[in-house]
Amino acid sequence: MVSKPTHASATLTIFKPVTFPTAPHTEVTEKGDIVYSEVVRENVRKLEAYVEEMASGDTISTVNIQKVQDDVLKLWTVVKSQPGISQDQKNRIKALYEGVVRSLRKGPEQIRTRTRSRRSSSQFLRPQISAVTPVSADKVPLLHLKRKVGSNWEYSSNLTGVYLDILHEIATSGTTFKDKNALLTGVGKGSIGVEILKGLLSGGAHVVITTSRYNRATVEYYQSIYQSFGARGSALTVVPFNQGSKQDVEALVDYIYATLGLDLDYILPFAAVPENGREIDGIDDKSELAHRIMLVNLLRILGAVKNKKASRHFVTRLTQVILPLSPNHGLFGNDGLYSESKISLETLFNRWNSESWGEYLCLAGAVIG
């Protein structure tokens, strides 16, 4: 979203989204071409309304319980008439049938809407909001959080509720990134990263971004973004960078900590390389480079930041890393090693517990797509 800064006082820079939320739109032309665009969401003119729409969840379809019971009974009648099924097997099937019928006869639970107490935080303004965003117990909001339970990721209504409340606060009264430092990769025109950059600058952050095309046109493009969105106290540093290079990774992190004298609060490593049209028999050098950029050297960036923080004994200021995950685990195909790169990032959540860098970095995964 394109945003602009507002100023609540002489010392606090506030970021508040002000443009219309958009939705994805896909059309197929007469020639069979797929055309993607972003369109303004119907009846959603402000971010507050968008948060409420995301909290609503999918519509729960109604089930004709009587019809289901009748169908199960017919199936049981067929099973009983089969001479090849032993009596012991029939008894077990009957017990299963009776259990299904009993569960269907139970009335549906009433929708429970929890009212959550508001959290205290020095990082967010405390607006007087008459109601928080409701989260129904029997629905999973379209925008939600999961937490690790054993070896599985499960939907957390508590975390989702807190998250949606914070989004609602930001939408109504804004937030600040004053005195925050961020490293952001993958900030090309039209990218998710460039919209994040605008928000961070609007909130007063010092943002370090990387580009593999360091030339006059690129510098002027980012300069125009800063002129439009840079708020009081914000700063933008553009660094030439080849994420396929181990040497560049080490030099980048050294520049941030040694030359700029910053300690990173956020890392958003969103750089990606498309690999369209490559099946398993078409894995080539570009696929290997993409894998190196999206996985191997992404891990090296995190490792280098950990080393800088450890050498300076920064153990009380964890750097928040937002990992760019994907629901594409090979479902689409024809994309080289893209899904392998994304799946492998998920192992970091286990390594955060099993390795030694948990006191320097904290992780969150954004499943995009």
Kind and range of the H or E run holding 67: helix 65-80
The CA distance from 101 to 76, in Å, is 11
Amino acid identity, residue 195? E
Residue range 1-6: average pLDDT?
Answer: 38
First to last CA, the chain: 16
Strands (E), 132-212: 146-149, 152-155, 181-185, 206-211
Residue range 246-251: average pLDDT?
Answer: 98
Residue range 46-66: average pLDDT?
Answer: 73
Amino acid identity, residue 157? S
Residue 112 has pLDDT above 50, yes or no: no
Q: Are 205 and 181 in contact (CB under 8 A)?
A: yes
Amino acid identity, residue 214? Y
> Could you tell me the pLDDT band of residue 107, with boundaries at 50, 70 and 90?
very low
How many Cβ atoms from other residues are within 10 Å of residue 117's Cβ?
Answer: 7
Residue range 208-215: average pLDDT?
Answer: 95
- Residue with token string 């999918």: 58
Residue range 36-51: average pLDDT?
Answer: 87
User: Beta 235-240 vs 206-211: how paired, if at all?
Assistant: parallel
State the greatest distance between any 2 C-alpha atoms of the chain, in Å, as a whole number.
86
DSSP 248-316: HHHHHHHIIIIIS----SEEEE------TTB-GGG--HHHHHHHIIIIIHHHHHHHHHHHHHHHTT--S
For residue range 144-155, list pLDDT tens digits in order: 999 988 888 888
- Residue with token string 């999206």: 294
Q: What is the pTM of this model?
A: 0.77
β-pair partners for 16: 4
**CA angle at 126 for the pair 122 and 130, rounded to the nearest 5°:** 155
For residue range 75-105, list pLDDT tens digits in order: 777 777 777 777 777 777 776 666 666 655 5
User: Beta 3-7 vs 13-17: how paired, if at all?
Assistant: antiparallel
